[in-house]
Amino acid sequence: MSDRLYEKLSWQVGDVSIHRLVEVVLCAPIDSLFPDRSAAELSAYESWLKPNYLDADGNMHISIHAFLINAGGMKMIVDTCAGNGKNLPLYDEWKNLNTPFLENMTELGFGPDAIDRVMCTHLHFDHVGWNTHKVNDKWVPSFPNARYLFNKTEWEFWKDADDPYESNALEHALQPIFDADLVELVEANHQVCDEISLIPTPGHTPGHASVLIQSKGEEAVITGDMFHHPLQFAEPGWIDAADVESDRAERTRIEFMQRFGNTDSTVLGTHFATPTAGKIVSDGDGYKFES
């Protein structure tokens, strides 16, 4: 996979700086996320999907990355990726990872001890993995000085639900944070600080939230998995196999595009490969992603 998919990217939104830290990039056939769909159905959108988001054979690039945010000295990580040494489902590329994720954070000026807030857009295993890491065979919090913000509705759902992916995320990456008393259960519209707030975007999961950054008249929004891939700007109704509630997820995608489409807001895709950021703009009856 090319270096470009792993390059360091950062953005400035008013006074807030945002960095992307990639853990791993997957190369995934369309039907691994969208059952019974194929690359041939995307031919009308190839001009803006290729080569960044689809490879020459029509496979999706799915980037697993975190966003590191510095807002007035408060340091945050949004979504903590998959983590090392786990036998994760669906794709080979993220099985038993061994990446220097925490060291890479330090290099970017976000040493684990300096993190003030951990935000998880939702509690799927590829968004909570580095909440903890293994020390002497025990999963311990990676960010011991942080408050971990988990959405209340999301936690209520997952604490008793069967994990459809058998990832053991509850045991590895969530329960140890509760045990260490570092969790703050928040509403989906929680205000984190002056510049940063959550906005409810339910459907992918019941308590899914996106992250809105506003500073000095500028605005950016981190999608979470409301959109897994930019193709969903054109096809918001395609059933995404990972969505817990398909109809609600589709409605949320459409409402989101109506709110942020054709505005100056920068959209940062949680699984969008390089260049990751862009604007939602009208395209015929629908929308496209302009990077």
| Closest CB 210 distance from Zn ion, rounded Å | 13
- Could you tell me the sign of the dihedral formed by the alpha carbons of 20, 24, 30, 36, in that order? negative
| Closest CB 174 distance from Zn ion, rounded Å | 15
* Span near Zn ion by CB under 5 A; candidates 41-49, 53-61, 126-134, 256-264: 126-134
> Toward Zn ion, which CB reaches closer, 27 or 281?
27
Please name the residues in contact with 190: beta carbons below 8 A apart, sequence gap of 6 or more. 149, 197, 198, 209
Q: Read off φ and ψ for residue 231, nearest 5 degrees.
A: -60, -25
Q: Residue 154: enclosing H or E segment and its boundaries?
A: helix 152-158
Asked if 225 interacts with Zn ion (CB under 5 A), we say: yes
What binding mask, one character per residue, do residues 147-186 give for Zn ion by CB under 5 A, x or -? ----------------------------------------
Compute the distance between CA of residue 192 and CA of residue 186 in angstroms, rounded to an integer. Answer: 10
| Closest CB 58 distance from Zn ion, rounded Å | 21
> Toward Zn ion, which CB reaches closer, 126 or 240?
126
Compute the distance between CA of residue 195 and CA of residue 72 in angstroms, rounded to an integer. Answer: 9
> Toward Zn ion, which CB reaches closer, 126 or 219?
126
| Closest CB 237 distance from Zn ion, rounded Å | 20
| Closest CB 3 distance from Zn ion, rounded Å | 23
Number of other residues whose CB lies within 10 A of the CB of residue 79: 26
Count of residues that bind Zn ion according to CB under 5 A: 2
* Span near Zn ion by CB under 5 A; candidates 178-186, 221-229, 246-254, 257-265: 221-229
Compute the distance between CA of residue 290 and CA of residue 85 in angstroms, rounded to an integer. Answer: 36
Residue 138 burial class via C-beta count within 10 angstroms: exposed 0-12, middle 13-18, buried 19 and up: exposed
Total number of residues shown for the chain = 291
Structure tokens at 77: 């990580």
Structure tokens at 128: 């909570």
| Closest CB 164 distance from Zn ion, rounded Å | 13
Compute the distance between CA of residue 63 and CA of residue 65 in angstroms, rounded to an integer. Answer: 6
Number of other residues whose CB lies within 10 A of the CB of residue 227: 27
Asked if 250 interacts with Zn ion (CB under 5 A), we say: no
Asked if 243 interacts with Zn ion (CB under 5 A), we say: no
Asked if 126 interacts with Zn ion (CB under 5 A), we say: yes
> Toward Zn ion, which CB reaches closer, 225 or 240?
225
| The residue type at 127 | H
> Toward Zn ion, which CB reaches closer, 19 or 204?
204
| Closest CB 267 distance from Zn ion, rounded Å | 16
Compute the distance between CA of residue 176 and CA of residue 232 in angstroms, rounded to an integer. Answer: 35
> Toward Zn ion, which CB reaches closer, 23 or 225?
225
Asked if 23 interacts with Zn ion (CB under 5 A), we say: no
> Toward Zn ion, which CB reaches closer, 66 or 71?
66
Q: Which residues bind Zn ion (CB under 5 A)?
A: 126, 225
